[in-house]
Structure 1
């Protein structure tokens, strides 16, 4: 079984975060600039929420709110569903599937140590299946 820690070792460590009073427009700019679909909302070192493209579409655009005048704290998802570095990757797949979410912050002793996406998890599943197929082909060719 692979752990979240192993998954994090294979990706860039940068996690983009903002303060709770940051205007939604700035959050969307950051997402576009970094090619990401979510940012963490922090109060100092404490994770208090996550803002996603889905939050923007549903809580700003559809409600006719101003992106410039709305603080991210008004539209973020909270409490945040998170995982720890020791969690199994399959467990994370179950969480994102059942909860219909795309991003999981990784917390260790209350501190953010990373962020994994459904794309990261799918990449792992594909690689694991590829290895299984290769092992079965080797066994059959024996």
Structure 2
């Protein structure tokens, strides 16, 4: 199963922010939307990602003045991305190896969406439950 299947049900809306926006604006967006990451865009392309984790690490290391920094100074860059045809298990492995929780989905330089580890785990659980139900139905029919 590919990432495209997840985007077809989840949707393709992506919360973004400009790299020159103040980090305080990113904090406000993350909090008001109750999300864990924003894609940082530069000229229509993904230049990085700013996550709750990035903000916390900057605050811990440099103090509250980081809230006046440009997002580009605190973001993770380059963003690790996948394509719509990436298999879900491959994406999960990538997230585990890189210790990240969000993957922008890019195809031919165009942003197509974003998936979180929660999206991928939910998809896997739903699929496993569906397969188990099919097995139960098969066993009961025999």
Does the pair score TM above 0.5? yes
User: Normalising by the residue count of structure 2, what TM-score does the alignment of the two structures yield?
Assistant: 0.94
1:72 is matched with which residue? 71
Q: CA deviation at 1:89?
A: 0.9
Q: Distance in 2 between matches of 1:140 and 1:30?
A: 50
CA RMSD of aligned residues (A): 1.2
1:65-106 superposed Cα distances (whole Å, 9 cap, x missing partner):
414311111110011110001111111111111111000000
More helix by share: 2
| Contact 2:23–2:71 under 8 Å retained in 1 | yes
What 5-or-longer segments of structure 2 have no aligned partner? none
Q: Distance in 2 between matches of 1:65 and 1:110?
A: 35
User: Normalising by the residue count of structure 1, what TM-score does the alignment of the two structures yield?
Assistant: 0.94
What 5-or-longer segments of structure 1 have no aligned partner? none
1:15-38 superposed Cα distances (whole Å, 9 cap, x missing partner):
111111111110010111111100
> Are 1:16 and 2:15 counterparts?
yes
| Contact 1:60–1:75 under 8 Å retained in 2 | no
Give every structure 1 segment of 4 or more consecutive aligned residues whose post-TM-superposition deviation is greater than 3 Å. Answer: none
Q: Distance in 2 between matches of 1:101 and 1:114?
A: 16
